[in-house]
Amino acid sequence: MSPPKTPEKTFLFGTRAVMEGINAGREIDKILVLKNLKNPLIQELLSLAMENRIPVQRVPVQKLQRYTRKNHQGVVCLLSAISYSSLDHVISQAFMEGRAPLIAILDRITDVRNFGAIARTADAAGADALVVPLTGHAQVTEDAIKTSAGVLNYLPVCRVNSLRSCIKELQDSGLQVVACSEKARELMYSVDLTGPTALLMGSEQNGIGIELLAICDLHVKIPMVGKISSLNVSVATGLVLYECVRQRSGS
Which tens digit of pLDDT belongs to each residue from 13-67?
999 999 999 998 888 989 999 999 999 999 999 999 999 989 899 999 999 999 9
Question: Residue 3 falls within a domain, yes or no?
Answer: no
**150 & 217 share domain:** yes
What CATH code is carried by the domain that includes residue 73?
Answer: 3.30.1330.30
**53 & 113 share domain:** no
**92 & 129 share domain:** yes
Cα–chain center distance at 166: 13
**Mean pLDDT confidence for 192-221:** 94
What's the whole-model pTM score?
0.84
Residue ending a domain, among 45, 61, 79, is 79
| pLDDT at residue 2 greater than cutoff 50 | no
At 50 the pLDDT is: 92
**137 & 48 share domain:** no
> What is the number of domains present in the chain?
2
What CATH code is carried by the domain that includes residue 159?
Answer: 3.40.1280.10
At 9 the pLDDT is: 57
**99 & 199 share domain:** yes
Average pLDDT over the chain reads 91
**33 & 94 share domain:** no
**40 & 159 share domain:** no
CB 101 within 8 Å of CB 197: yes
**21 & 125 share domain:** no
Question: Residue 1 falls within a domain, yes or no?
Answer: no
Q: From CA 157, how far away is CA 128, in angstroms rounded?
A: 9
Report which of residues 142 and 7 the model is more confident about: 142
Percentage of residues in the chain with pLDDT exceeding 70? 96
Question: Residue 48 falls within a domain, yes or no?
Answer: yes
Which contacts of 123-126 are long-range, i.e. CB under 8 A and separated by 24 or more positions?
123/148, 123/151, 123/155, 125/238, 125/241, 125/242, 125/244, 125/245, 126/102, 126/245
Residue ending a domain, among 50, 79, 108, is 79
Report which of residues 170 and 2 the model is more confident about: 170
**239 & 150 share domain:** yes
Residue ending a domain, among 79, 109, 141, is 79
**Domain range for residue 68?**
8-79
- pLDDT for 137-196, tens place per residue? 888 878 888 999 999 999 999 999 999 999 999 999 999 999 999 889 999 999 999 999
Question: Residue 59 falls within a domain, yes or no?
Answer: yes
The per-type count for the chain, helices as H runs and strands as E runs, is: 9, 11
**72 & 107 share domain:** no
